[in-house]
Amino acid sequence: MVMTQQYISGELSVLLTQLRSVATVRGCAREVERLRQEAETLPIVTLGCVTARALRLTDALCWDSLTRGDMPAFRCQAEVSAQLFEFAVCAGLLTAE
Amino acid sequence: MTTEQQAQVSEAQIAVHWREEECYTPPAKFIGQANAADPDIFTRFQERNFPSCFKEYADLLSWDCYWHTTLDTDNAPFWKWFVGGRLNACFNCVDRHLASSRNKAALIWVPEPESEETEVITYQELYRRVNEFAVLLREWGGVHAGDRVTFHLPMVPRLPVAMLACARLGVIHSEVFGGFSGAACGGRVADSQSSILVTMDGYYRNGQLIDHKVKADEAVEEARRLGHKIEKVLVWRRHPGRYASKSAMVDGRDFFVDELLADYRGATVEPVSQPAEAPLFLMYTSGTTGRPKGCQHSTGGYLAYVAGTSKYYQDIHPEDTYWCCADIGWITGHSYIVYGPLALGATSVMYEGVPTYPDAGRVWRIAERLGVNIFHTAPTTIRMLRKLGPDEPGKYDYHLKHMTTVGEPIEPEVWRWYHDVAGKGEAAIVDTWWQTENGGFLGSTLPALQPMKPGSCGPGVLGIYPVIYDEDGDVVEAGSGRAGNICIRNPWPGIFQTIWGQPERFRQIYYEKYCRDSGSTDWRDWPYFAGDGAVQAADGYFRILGRVDDVINVAGHRLGTKELESASLTVAEVAEAAAVPVMDELRGRAVEMYVALKPGVSSSGAIEDKVAAAIDREIGKIARPKHVWIVADMPKTRSGKIMRRVIAGISNFADVGDVSTLANPEIVEDIRHRIQAEKLARGEVPRQLTPEEAEEIKAFGRAE
């Protein structure tokens, strides 16, 4: 139901895989896996919430890397965060403001 | 729309709303060559000619045996199309083109790395590859007509080859989007009871060779956990002879396809003639219960529908180079990359990777290089291309006669960029509305005969008679400015047959809401409930509004009321929950939760905290409610629906409207008195709502 938007869940799933690969905090990694499962199985209408939670996780990961002075990890995480944000805005899952 | 008209439409229903736009007409050059340029086609597909009008689509195919009944409604709503007819989908997409187009490109595959050569697969080559893989599946894999085979493949030519090989044998294929996890794949394999999984070692995305085979191991494990054994895993190699995965091949379970195929070089198998209503494939889509829904599509009806809509709405001619920039893992790719274009003998382009890799000009370079003249993609991609490279199209020498947008409502400004910049003002644009369940387009414009209107998908397509119903089942008239639930009054050949293994769920989700007589075999009693909100302009064009349920926009985050309520219900003491928006100076809107407790449970601050914490945990801090109000009961209709509109009115010190028809009108005053008194005591002095805000609150909850 709700148009042919399944591909949005697919793209989000792919981006969450990328996020998982740069998750340097174990608890965050588990949470990303949970979010990915939700993106793949729950109704499309839940994707906005999944995205918002994923973006908060990227914030937490970035802060953690900054705190530890791990700049390579920070750069990777910030890049994924930017991709996630751009996609979410273009897909209408978030508004740009 | 006037403000007065908007008053009757929930802000949430109109998640995307904009004013009526000026129409555009297609270029004369396009009209002159269009497949559907004679207005007589509208007469042929008028309702009085239903269902026989769809013979015109079915006649685009080659049948082994002609049908005797166009539409069988005896087991409504499990419609059967072209009953008695027999055909083979692979024969229609491959074999029958050999006589005239043997050396014509059927597929042109563009790998993501620009250093790799584009691969052209002629109809002859496609025939050869499909046959070899079909023989392998039959003789080595032991599958027969009616069995299921699952693919977890990325955008590589092996995917359409595998689909067509299954179709050749009458085997039902089920492709899981390549980017999905192994667990998601395993769940779908278990649901379909496939004994074979076809996968790949890796593929390119964003410049990286992604390890894909590792997901097959997860899929096998997940299927096993669900009680199903995957006997064999067939692994294609992205670079034949070179294994790109770190995942070990499991002895006796995992096999390299390129090695197995050596034994079937040049082998052929006759296409298995299938009844028209035999299932062709399953396409899984997520559902509200978490269990995915396997949408089962038929052979004859589906193929006829995608061939017909490809011909008339995509305006595909045999000499066109057509590119649907989507993934075959979704219904768009099945219908409008593989089955539709190949049934018409066209050349269909496939691209492996990300449209903006390595830069925002990639798509337009491909169009220039291959001479693409029909382009098809989704608004999300269009927005991305526009954002990252608004001027890129002008740098490339390509010329499109036709462009499609699919999947979501497209904003007029984005539509205009697509038309003016990406299409250079030369192309006819069709905006389409449809769903995984539908097989093909439901709403669109016939490009040479109906003007384009930015933001509107158009009227129902040929042979589709849509209607908008309100919650009571009354028709919402065109031009009224009111939104409602878009439904299709009639069956059509592309409609899915059922949810695999869940016929009751199929009936309940898609037909129960507006069914007039559950014992009827008259299709007029069974409108199809699409689940999308829509509004119809006086000219008959539909504007699709997306999800029917309500959202609350908190600081740019669109929070679904259902998710907020589900999170609240994870608290053991909570029996019922309702989320409503409240005006917030800082965030625009904030969430207030109303909860009723289970019998015997006493109200306490601790429960309020638990609800807030549950929302925090399940959704995130952005959704944390401004207040959690524990109430004795919710205002409800006589059928038991919670009236969120009334609650929203209370929270915002606004008019709650007519409550006389509620089952428990007395509760409204109780809640209002208590909540508003507490708010005032906390210093939350309400400000005057603007007329627009007042209307939004008044309309909140209409989606229910």
Interface residue of B205, B332, B558, B624 to substitute, partner A, most A CBs within 10 Å: B558
Give the pLDDT confidence score for residue B700 in this predicted structure: 78
A36 touches chain B (CB under 8 A): yes
Q: pTM for this structure?
A: 0.81
B154 touches chain A (CB under 8 A): no
B556 vs A93: CB contact, 8 Å cut-off?
no
What are the two backbone dihedrals, phi and then psi, of residue A70, each rounded to the nearest 5 degrees? -90, 85
Look at residue B702 and tell me whether its pLDDT is greater than 70.
no
Which residues in B76-114 are b (16+ Cβ under 10 Å) and which e? bbbbbbbbbbbbbbbbbbbbbbbeebeebbbbbbbbbee
Query: Is residue B302 within 8 Å of residue B494, measured between CB atoms?
Result: yes
For range B410-426, the mean pLDDT: 92
Closest CA to B452 of B392, B394, B403: B403
What's the DSSP call for residue A94?
B
Q: Residues 6 or more apart from A28 whose CB is under 8 A from it?
A: A57, A60, A61, A64
Is the Cα dihedral B499, B502, B505, B507 positive or negative?
Answer: positive
Q: Could you say which of B205, B531, B622 has the minimum Cβ distance to residue A2?
A: B531
A40 touches chain B (CB under 8 A): yes
Q: Which of residues 65-84 of A touch B (CB under 8 A)?
A: none
Residues in chain A: 97
B183 vs A37: CB contact, 8 Å cut-off?
yes
Q: Which chain A residues are closer than 8 Å to B508 by Cβ?
A: none
B617 touches chain A (CB under 8 A): no
Q: Which of residues 304-323 of B touch A (CB under 8 A)?
A: none
Whether cis (ω within 30° of 0) applies to the bond prior to B412 is: no
Q: Could you say which of B180, B290, B562 has the minimum Cβ distance to residue A10?
A: B180
Residue-wise pLDDT for A25-72, tens only, equals: 888 899 999 999 889 887 777 788 888 889 989 999 999 999 999 999
- Distance in angstroms (rounded) separating the CA atoms of residues B529 and B507: 10
B532 vs A2: CB contact, 8 Å cut-off?
yes
A37 vs B184: CB contact, 8 Å cut-off?
yes
- Distance in angstroms (rounded) separating the CA atoms of residues B379 and B404: 10
For range B581-597, the mean pLDDT: 88
Q: Residues 6 or more apart from B44 whose CB is under 8 A from it?
A: B53, B56
B470 touches chain A (CB under 8 A): no
Q: How far does the CA of residue A16 sit from the closest CA of chain B (Å)?
A: 10
Q: Which chain B residues are closer than 8 Å to A8 by Cβ?
A: 380
Q: Which chain B residues are closer than 8 Å to A28 by Cβ?
A: none
Look at residue B52 and tell me whether its pLDDT is greater than 80.
yes
Look at residue B649 and tell me whether its pLDDT is greater than 70.
yes
B187 vs A52: CB contact, 8 Å cut-off?
no
Residue type, B206: N
A27 touches chain B (CB under 8 A): no
Q: How far does the CA of residue A96 sit from the closest CA of chain B (Å)?
A: 7
A10 vs B288: CB contact, 8 Å cut-off?
no
**DSSP labels for B66-120?**
--SEEEE-TTTTS-EEEET-EE-HHHHHTGGGHHHHTTSEEEEEE-SSTTSPPEE
Residue-wise pLDDT for B82-91, tens only, equals: 999 999 999 9
> Helix, strand, coil: what percent of chain A each, to 5?
80, 0, 20
What's the DSSP call for residue B335?
I
The burial class, CB within 10 Å (0-12 / 13-18 / 19+), for B615 is buried
Residue found under tokens 């898609």: B510
Look at residue B13 and tell me whether its pLDDT is greater than 60.
no
Name the helix (H) or strand (E) containing B481.
none
Q: How far does the CA of residue A25 sit from the closest CA of chain B (Å)?
A: 18
Q: Which chain A residues are closer than 8 Å to B360 by Cβ?
A: none
> Which tokens sit at B202?
């890796």
| B697: confidence class by pLDDT, cuts 50, 70, 90 | confident
Give the pLDDT confidence score for residue A2 in this predicted structure: 44
Give the pLDDT confidence score for residue B16 in this predicted structure: 35
A60 touches chain B (CB under 8 A): no
Q: Could you say which of A1, A11, A96 has the minimum Cβ distance to residue B530?
A: A1
Give the pLDDT confidence score for residue B553 in this predicted structure: 74
Give the pLDDT confidence score for residue B6 in this predicted structure: 31
- Distance in angstroms (rounded) separating the CA atoms of residues B454 and B545: 14
Q: Could you say which of A13, A45, A90 has the minimum Cβ distance to residue B180?
A: A13
Instruction: Report how far apart, in Å, the C-alpha atoms of B669 and of each of B629, B687, B694 are.
Output: 15, 21, 19
Residue B403, helix vs strand vs coil: strand
Q: How far does the CA of residue B616 sit from the closest CA of chain A (Å)?
A: 10
Q: Which residue has the higher pLDDT, B384 or B273?
A: B273
Look at residue A1 and tell me whether its pLDDT is greater than 50.
no
Mean pLDDT is lowest, of B154-163, B424-433, B580-589, B683-692, for B683-692
In chain A, the residue whose alpha carbon lies closest to the alpha carbon of B187 is A41
Give the pLDDT confidence score for residue A91 in this predicted structure: 86
Look at residue B165 and tell me whether its pLDDT is greater than 90.
yes
Strand partners, B549: none
Query: Is residue B580 within 8 Å of residue B700, measured between CB atoms?
Result: yes
Q: How far separated are the first and last CA of chain A, in Å rounded? A: 28
Size of interface A-B (CB pairs under 8 A): 146
Q: How far does the CA of residue B18 sit from the closest CA of chain A (Å)?
A: 15
Q: Which chain A residues are closer than 8 Å to B547 by Cβ?
A: 2, 44-45
Residue type, A7: Y
Q: Could you say which of B378, B562, B621 has the minimum Cβ distance to residue A45?
A: B562
Q: Which chain A residues are closer than 8 Å to B286 by Cβ?
A: 6, 9, 40-44
Q: Could you say which of A52, A90, A92 has the minimum Cβ distance to residue B622?
A: A52
Give the pLDDT confidence score for residue B163 in this predicted structure: 98
Give the pLDDT confidence score for residue B83 in this predicted structure: 98
Mean pLDDT, chain B, rounded, equals 91
Look at residue B336 and tell me whether its pLDDT is greater than 90.
yes
A87 vs B384: CB contact, 8 Å cut-off?
yes
Is the Cα dihedral A31, A36, A37, A42 positive or negative?
Answer: positive
Q: How far does the CA of residue A87 sit from the closest CA of chain B (Å)?
A: 7
- Distance in angstroms (rounded) separating the CA atoms of residues B431 and B543: 10
Residue B372, helix vs strand vs coil: coil
Q: How far does the CA of residue A51 sit from the closest CA of chain B (Å)?
A: 9
A90 vs B290: CB contact, 8 Å cut-off?
no
- Distance in angstroms (rounded) separating the CA atoms of residues B199 and B244: 13
Q: How far does the CA of residue A69 sit from the closest CA of chain B (Å)?
A: 26
- Distance in angstroms (rounded) separating the CA atoms of residues B14 and B411: 13
